Amino acid sequence: MTWYVRLWKFITLAHGSGGKETEELVKNLIVQSVPPELWRVEGGTGLDILDDAALIPAGENRYIAVTVDTYTVKPIFFPGGDLGKLAASGTINDLLMVGAKPLAVLDGVVVEEGFPIEDFKKIMGSFIRTLAEEKVALVGGDFKVMPKGQLDGIVIASMGIGIVEGKPIVDTEIRPGDKIIVSGYLGDHGAAILAAQQSLGVDLGVESDVKPLTRLMLPLLEKYRDSIHGAGDPTRGGLAMLLNNWAEKTKTVIVIDEVKTPVRPQVREYAEMLGVDPFSLASEGAAVLAVEPSRAEEIIEYMHSLGFKEATIIGEVYEPKDPRHAGRVLLKSVAGGVRILEPPSGEIVPRIC
Amino acid sequence: MATARRALRLRVTGIVQGVGFRPFIYRLAVSRGLAGYVLNLGGSEVEIYVEGPPDQLASFIKGLYRERPPPARIEELEIEEAEPQGLGSFTIRKSERRKSKRSMIPPDFGICSDCLHEIHDPSTRFYRYYWNSCAWCGPRFSMMYTVPYDRENTAMKKYPLCTECRRDYEDPANLRRFHAQGISCPKCGPRTYVYTMDGKRLDVPDPVEWAAEKIEEGYILAIKGVGGFHLAALATRDDVVEELRRRKRRPSKPFALMARDCSVVEMIAEPPPGACEVLQSAERPILLLPKRPGSPVSELVAPGLDTIGVMLPYTGFQALLLEQVRDGFLIMTSGNETGYPMCTTLKCVFTHLCGIADYVVAHDREIVHRVDDSVLRYTDGELVFLRRARGYAPMWLYAPAELPEMVAVGAELQTAGAVAFEDKVVPTQYIGDMDEPGQVEELERELRWFVEVYSLKPRIVAMDMHPGYHNRGLAARLAEEYGAELVEVQHHHAHAAAAMLEDRVPPGEEKVAITIDGTGYGVDSTIWGGEVLVASYSSFTRVASLYPFRLPGGDAAAKWPVRALIGLMQASGLDEEEALDVLRRYGLLSRDKLPHGETEARVSYRLAAFGKAPLTTSMGRTLDALAALLRIAWRRDYEGEPAMKLEAAARGGRDHGYTPGLLSLDGRLVVDTPGLLRWVLENIDRLPARDIAVTIQRGLGRALGEAAARAARGLDGPVYISGGAAVNTFIVQGARQVLSDYGLEVRIPRRLPPGDGGVAVGQLLVAAAKLGEI
Ligand SMILES: [Fe+3]
Ligand SMILES: [Mg+2]
Ligand SMILES: [Zn+2]
Ligand SMILES: [Zn+2]
């Protein structure tokens, strides 16, 4: 067990932040309790890799991809979307990020007694509309109500099923030399939610980017499946968390360039004012790819042609010079110099002396 | 009539090994006509037996202090009468290898006056030899692979002694070279080369002359020294200093100077009495001295400060170089890329300094341990450490009790680690900031080295409580590997313990400590930094603190002091419009002071007002806020910048005697900094800034002193002041003013840095005490 897990006494909000603490909790208190032979289905992937979705072999060069996520957001209706769209998009994107074509979804909805029917209709409406637009079936589900006060509003659990034809995109395939690509502006969702939550009187003018990435990923997979070594959506914990995960899983060093990483000026500014790292803000409609370097430029051009105009190469994967540096993400900063891009922590405590 | 023969047995403890101490004793005894012997006891002790006439014995003892080799230091001297044995001569006896005793690892000494003399004397074979050294001087720790300090165990092993050097080495009558491990000469010693930044070696007849010429032309040179590389450049030309700042991306952090000799120091600074002796000591530290008005030093060397850091040459190369340049002084700042540690290898220079330096001068002796220049300053007239490294590390300090074998990893910024065994604590040399790439690894490497060379089996590993400190993972790994107990220590408790250790406070005793700094994680998960503790090594009570306020954006408020000011105003009861009014009135909404202007000010205020920002009692942030309000500093480009500038701005001011009161909050006393803020706002338009600056800093000191005095009822003094802000002259003066009225003495750490460089030592004591080991 990791040393500081031993210091924990209670579950805190930090454990659910999607940062370092969540990862440690899942690995130490859940994964390690499962017998390793049950971490995955023979020939597939699962808790061993903790990718966006698990893979279950289904014949020659075919896999079934499955994923589940529980969605909760404050406020439920936010600029650019709502909980329903978030749940549907998140599920679809998780399937896409392992190279699957999303097929069907099952949901589990828990609502607090007294929740307005009008809001419920809106949320489920946008959940279903989002699935329908991407031709994803809703094939089953569960519905429960909790007494007032035992739940804050509504929670949606959403499980997705997809099919992989050909090579799945498994993060452990990422290797030194790969170029890191992002599909567009990062952090919009996180910034929009923060602005809505904090109500500090700032008109951010930025909406959540929440959307399914089907129209980006399916054509890309069609054309470049073999050149894409890793794919992920930088949701909770943002780019910082995702790249740290990749670097750690593959024992590599990832170096990205702050100047090249697309973040809207207002988002960066707002993050600076709040004292948070813009790279740890969530995106709900952006993809990060690790691709074969020789194809990187071509892939970028193709992404542009698909309408993702901000797609760009932001960095590269390296062999660590010193094995102790494996798993590290470095950021070439605007000001010059390099800093370690840390996995975000749920607990933000000043360090400067 | 001949007096009776008497005999003495002496035990000398201190720096008495690896510094030519035994040959010195030999010569001293022989010159006094005494018989007997001297031998190394291991540890850091030498035993001397002498017999002869009593008056000669007395003269011998006097000579022991007066004529000792410059780097030798006698910490303890035990003398006992012995029975004369009738020995006929004086001998150096073979060392006794006592297994249990560990030796003090000698630090790096600056070149001695005799060696300097030789390199200036055309008749010696050391004429113009850059790396001349002897038993009294030269590198030690920085070139040691392992213990004991024998040539074979150092980077000098690749330079076999030539015939002449061997002869000197084996000649007991050669006071400075007999058994001196590091000696060499132009024939057998390290060679010096000159390179372009693409790694090409240039053929130059005389590297010193060449380097001096290039520097005078305005180039920036990377020069290899003892514990790392320097960047050397002219300190008198603004364009050169500006270029160096631009290339180093270091807008305002002061650069250290190296001066030819004390007369040059007098020309550029105003050294107080005794400062020259410190500069000339074998430790050869950087000393912060008041600037001399009208000196030729560019204002850009230490912008906004009233002091400059100066050192004297500590290698032959540096001495010759400084003689060669017209100014008589140069910038000699550490050779690192901002955000990285100082380079110790050519490879590092060519990677990290390629956009910074124009040329490189390097010798081919390996630097085994990176050792930065030590930095000292005067605080209320006392010499204190800002950085303890070359010349001092890794000397040990004595603990007030036997300690288990243990390791401490220190704090986060400007930090060092430490190990303990027997009754000793060994702080590592200054390592630096743990958030920079490679620094945790460097700390690990050094700690492991000490564990190995002292053959320790650590039973305890101590670390700070701060969840975000980068060295906690290292502490955990070491604890696991050693099967040791992992202990968390509160930051300010460690500061207090470090000050108490230095003063040999026995375990179990409680003392009052004022611990003031920028940031330390408190047991209530808020950020502490202006605390009065009643502490023993094992536990503490927080009896007083500064008034808590919110830091909008956390560390962002440390980088932009106006944000800390907004937090302090909010805590002081100003509403949003009032706070904005103040900011507007004093021009603090401009983009250079707050990058996003009024929006940022409002966001900051609301973050504080809604409780969405960390709570702090930090002295550093309180000083930052006040420095911003007085328009003395509004950006932090290096640690302590606003506070240092506030201190500088107070020089020559008149103290108006205002002292913030003490309020009661959550069962402790709090210094009424909201009251202090109101006092400043009432007086800012009618008093000179320097009057306000001196009054508020002394006032904070007086208020903490008052709180400490109340806490000290029933306890013996002295009261300790520790933590990074304890080097602030005015705060210390304020505390002294008040506490002296109560008959209490105030002590600041003097052998350890009061700041986070001393935290690891405190961690050792607290961890041992918490586990009931002392
Ligand atoms: Fe501190
Ligand atoms: Mg993936
Ligand atoms: Zn010498
Ligand atoms: Zn020689």
Each residue of B460-477: pLDDT tens digit? 999 999 988 999 999 999
Say which residues have a Cβ less than 8 Å from residue B381's Cβ, sequence separation at least 6.
B272
Residues with CB in 5 Å of ion ligand 4: B 162, 165, 185, 187-188
Contact of B52 with B34, CB cutoff 8 Å: yes
Q: Is residue A2 part of a domain?
A: no
Residues of A in contact with B639 (CB under 8 A): 352-353
Q: Which ligand approaches the C-alpha of residue B184 most closely?
A: 4
B139 CA → ligand 4 middle, Å: 17
Residues of B in contact with A275 (CB under 8 A): 552-557, 613
B623 CA → ligand 1 middle, Å: 15
Q: Same domain, yes or no, for A184 and A225?
A: yes
Probe site for chain A from B555, B566, B610 (most A CB atoms < 10 A): B555
Mean pLDDT score, B671-696: 98
Q: Same domain, yes or no, for A207 and A252?
A: yes
B412 CA → ligand 1 middle, Å: 9
Q: Is residue A35 part of a domain?
A: no
Q: Which of A198, A201, A349 sits opposite B466 (nearest CB)?
A: A349
> How many domains are contained in chain A?
2
At which of A115, A131, A165 does a domain end? A165
A269 contacts B596? CB cut-off 8 A: yes
Q: Same domain, yes or no, for A323 and A210?
A: yes
Residues of A in contact with B476 (CB under 8 A): 3-4
Q: Tell me how far apart the alpha carbons of residues A214 and A93 are, in angstroms, rounded to a whole number.
A: 7
Å between B409 CA and nearest CA of chain A:
16
B277 CA → ligand 3 middle, Å: 17
The alpha helices in B503-560, defined as continuous H runs, are 555-559
**B676 or B96, which is more confident?**
B676
At which of A150, A165, A180 does a domain end? A165
At which of A138, A165, A192 does a domain end? A165
B502 CA → ligand 3 middle, Å: 31
B541-587: pLDDT as tens digits: 999 999 999 999 999 999 999 999 999 999 999 999 999 999 999 99
A vs B, Cβ pairs < 8 A, gives 120
B199-237: pLDDT as tens digits: 999 999 999 999 999 999 999 999 999 999 999 999 999
Q: Is residue A37 part of a domain?
A: no
Q: Tell me how far apart the alpha carbons of residues B279 and B289 are, in angstroms, rounded to a whole number.
A: 11
Q: Is residue A255 part of a domain?
A: yes
What does pLDDT average to over chain A?
Answer: 94
Q: Which ligand approaches the C-alpha of residue A287 most closely?
A: 2
Q: Same domain, yes or no, for A148 and A281?
A: no
Å between A329 CA and nearest CA of chain B:
11
User: How many CA atoms lie less than 13 Å away from A13 in the CB half-sphere?
Assistant: 3
B414 contacts A348? CB cut-off 8 A: no
B22 is catalytic: yes
Residues of chain A with a CB closer than 8 angstroms to some CB in chain B? 3-4, 7, 198, 200-202, 269, 272-276, 322, 324-325, 328, 330, 335-340, 345, 347-353
Residues of B in contact with A14 (CB under 8 A): none
Listed residue (B36, B76, B77) closest to B56, CA to CA: B36
Q: What pLDDT does residue B1 have? A: 44
Q: Same domain, yes or no, for A151 and A253?
A: no
**A99 or B76, which is more confident?**
A99
Domain of residue A280 covers 171-340
Say which residues have a Cβ less than 8 Å from residue A160's Cβ, sequence separation at least 6.
A53, A65, A66, A67, A68, A91, A92, A94, A95, A102, A104, A105, A136
Q: What residue of A is the nearest CA neighbor of B476? A: A3
Mean pLDDT score, B123-134: 97
B101 pLDDT higher than 70 = no
- DSSP secondary structure letter of residue A339: E
What does pLDDT average to over chain B?
Answer: 95
Neighbours of B339 (CB within 10 A): 18
- DSSP secondary structure letter of residue B580: H
Residues of B in contact with A200 (CB under 8 A): 602-603, 606-607, 610
Say which of B27, B40, B377, B736 is annotated catalytic.
B40
A134 CA → ligand 2 middle, Å: 20
Q: What pLDDT does residue A14 have? A: 85
B236-252: pLDDT as tens digits: 999 999 999 999 999 99
What does residue B524 show for φ and ψ, rounded to 5 degrees? -95, 15
Q: Same domain, yes or no, for A153 and A177?
A: no
Say which residues have a Cβ less than 8 Å from residue A101's Cβ, sequence separation at least 6.
A95, A162, A163, A164, A165, A218
Say which of B22, B27, B459, B542 is annotated catalytic.
B22
A337 contacts B337? CB cut-off 8 A: yes
Q: Same domain, yes or no, for A180 and A323?
A: yes
Comparing A2-6, A56-60, B106-110, B262-266, which segment has the lowest mean pLDDT?
A2-6
Lookup: tokens for B530: 């202006």
B314 CA → ligand 3 middle, Å: 10
Q: Same domain, yes or no, for A151 and A191?
A: no
Q: Same domain, yes or no, for A143 and A159?
A: yes
A4 contacts B472? CB cut-off 8 A: yes
Q: Is residue A345 part of a domain?
A: no
B270 pLDDT higher than 50 = yes
A312-338: pLDDT as tens digits: 999 999 999 888 889 999 999 887 778
Q: Same domain, yes or no, for A239 and A318?
A: yes
Lookup: tokens for B393: 């590390």
**Single-letter amino acid code for the residue at A21:** E
Q: Is residue A347 part of a domain?
A: no
**Single-letter amino acid code for the residue at B399:** A
A350 contacts B557? CB cut-off 8 A: yes
What is the DSSP pairing of strand B406-408 with strand B460-464?
parallel
Q: What domains does chain B contain, in order, with CATH numbers?
A: 6-92 (3.30.70.100), 192-363 (3.90.870.10), 387-504+754-770 (3.30.420.360), 545-747 (3.30.420.40)
Label residues B198-234 b or e (16+ Cβ within 10 Å = b): eeeeeebeebbebbbebbeeebbbbbbbbbbbbbbbb
Å between A349 CA and nearest CA of chain B:
7
Q: Tell me how far apart the alpha carbons of residues B730 and B698 are, in angstroms, rounded to a whole number.
A: 5
Q: What residue of A is the nearest CA neighbor of B527? A: A350
Q: Same domain, yes or no, for A175 and A324?
A: yes
Residue A335's domain is classified under what CATH number? 3.90.650.10
Q: Same domain, yes or no, for A200 and A283?
A: yes
Q: Is residue A12 part of a domain?
A: no
Q: Taking the model in full, what pTM does it have?
A: 0.91
Can you give the length of chain A in residues?
353
Residue A71's domain is classified under what CATH number? 3.30.1330.10
B480 contacts A352? CB cut-off 8 A: no
Q: Is residue A238 part of a domain?
A: yes
What is the DSSP pairing of strand A338-340 with strand A328-332?
antiparallel
B40 is catalytic: yes
